[in-house]
Amino acid sequence: MTETQEQPAAIAKVWDQQSVWSQSANKLKATVEGARTLALVLGIAAAALGTAAAQTMDWNSTVGTVLAFAAAAAAGAAPIAAQRGGPGRLSDWTRLRAVSEALKAEVYTCLARVGPYQQAADASALLAERCRSYRTDGGDLVRYTTGVAPVARQLPAVKDIDSYVDHRLRRQIETYYRPKAERMHRNLQRVGRIEAVLGGLGAVLAAAAGAFAMGALAAWVAVAASVSVAVTAHAVAQRYAYQHLEFLRTAEELERLLDRWTSESAHTPERAEAFVAECEHVISIQNEAWMIRWTVG
């Protein structure tokens, strides 16, 4: 194998490692979000089943007992489910994602041949050394990567600053940050509609209970209110509003850098190095910001 063949092979190895860390982060995130959703569903079920049990007990004690047992089981399982999405797992997920994003940034910088790779005698060796330090920092997370195989994919088609702009910068804006912002916006709208429906339902139940002296309906007003509060708390925990603003801000900042770069007439090696460093800095700041927010919020 020639030297020119060895370098892409060495870079591809780091690219495969990035895939493993990215998949591991995605899996742990799915576990965290699944745990939170399950805890929400169990909490809602406990409130609804408890109310149904109280109202059914006089009519049919067997059915009422079954409903009461189901309500208690749901209430007891909710905190257990929530623990799978607790601070420890959140911290591990954010650190897995941090290593994944650091490896990705290094690969793109290396392929663009800017920064420390511009004058490096062996760019692939330098890449391997720098990426080894990231993996060492996350050594306690290796248990999440065990058994995860890298996704078969080509190296990014980046070989200079122009291809970096096309395959890194534009794609981040057009296929990641803008779509992610839109997705968070849809989530916010969905939560708003659910809250409106629950609020309307509670108002109708309260009015019916008062107008027709139906005490049984009054109990369901509290259930509707509890469900609405639980949905709101879930949306807050998922950081929909924060993520929406953060994705938009990052997309706009990257677009500003892109516009400034395309409007410049002179693209010196020094300017290219600074440009790539600015882009990767904006991306890393966004990653750090939402990861910190998830962990401590």
Residue 297 pLDDT: 47
Q: Tell me: do 192 and 233 sit in the same domain.
A: yes
Q: Tell me: do 147 and 174 sit in the same domain.
A: no
Q: Looking at the 3D structure of the chain, how many domains does it have?
A: 2
Q: Which range is most confident: 195-199, 217-221, 281-285?
A: 281-285
Residue 213 pLDDT: 62
246 pLDDT tier (thresholds 50, 70, 90): confident
Q: Tell me: do 138 and 11 sit in the same domain.
A: yes
Q: Tell me: do 105 and 19 sit in the same domain.
A: yes
How far is Cα 45 from Cα 227, in angstroms, rounded to an integer? 9
Q: Tell me: do 141 and 242 sit in the same domain.
A: no
Q: Using the predicted structure, report yes or no on whether residue 218 has a pLDDT greater than 70.
A: no
296 pLDDT tier (thresholds 50, 70, 90): very low
Instruction: Mark which of 94, 125, 153 sits at the end of a domain.
Output: 153
Instruction: Report yes or no: 178 and 251 within 8 Å, Cβ to Cβ.
Output: yes
Q: Using the predicted structure, report yes or no on whether residue 253 has a pLDDT greater than 90.
A: yes
Higher confidence at residue 78 or residue 233?
Answer: 78
Domain range for 9 is 1-153
How far is Cα 280 from Cα 293, in angstroms, rounded to an integer? 20
Instruction: Mark which of 153, 176, 199 sits at the end of a domain.
Output: 153
Q: Tell me: do 182 and 97 sit in the same domain.
A: no
Residue 170 pLDDT: 95
Q: Using the predicted structure, report yes or no on whether residue 149 has a pLDDT greater than 60.
A: yes
Residue 2 pLDDT: 42
Tens-digit pLDDT profile for residues 85-121? 777 888 888 889 888 988 999 999 999 999 888 887 8
Q: Tell me: do 251 and 110 sit in the same domain.
A: no
Tens-digit pLDDT profile for residues 23-36? 999 999 899 888 88
Q: Tell me: do 6 and 139 sit in the same domain.
A: yes
Q: Tell me: do 30 and 137 sit in the same domain.
A: yes
Residue 95 pLDDT: 87
Q: Tell me: do 47 and 172 sit in the same domain.
A: no
Tens-digit pLDDT profile for residues 156-178? 999 999 999 999 999 999 999 99
Q: Using the predicted structure, report yes or no on whether residue 3 has a pLDDT greater than 60.
A: no
Residue 75 pLDDT: 86
Q: Tell me: do 43 and 142 sit in the same domain.
A: yes
Residues 183-194, mean pLDDT to the nearest whole number: 86
Q: Tell me: do 230 and 264 sit in the same domain.
A: yes
How far is Cα 20 from Cα 149, in angstroms, rounded to an integer? 6
22 pLDDT tier (thresholds 50, 70, 90): very high
Residues 133-143, mean pLDDT to the nearest whole number: 88
Residue 215 pLDDT: 65
Instruction: Mark which of 98, 128, 153 sits at the end of a domain.
Output: 153
Average pLDDT score over the chain: 84
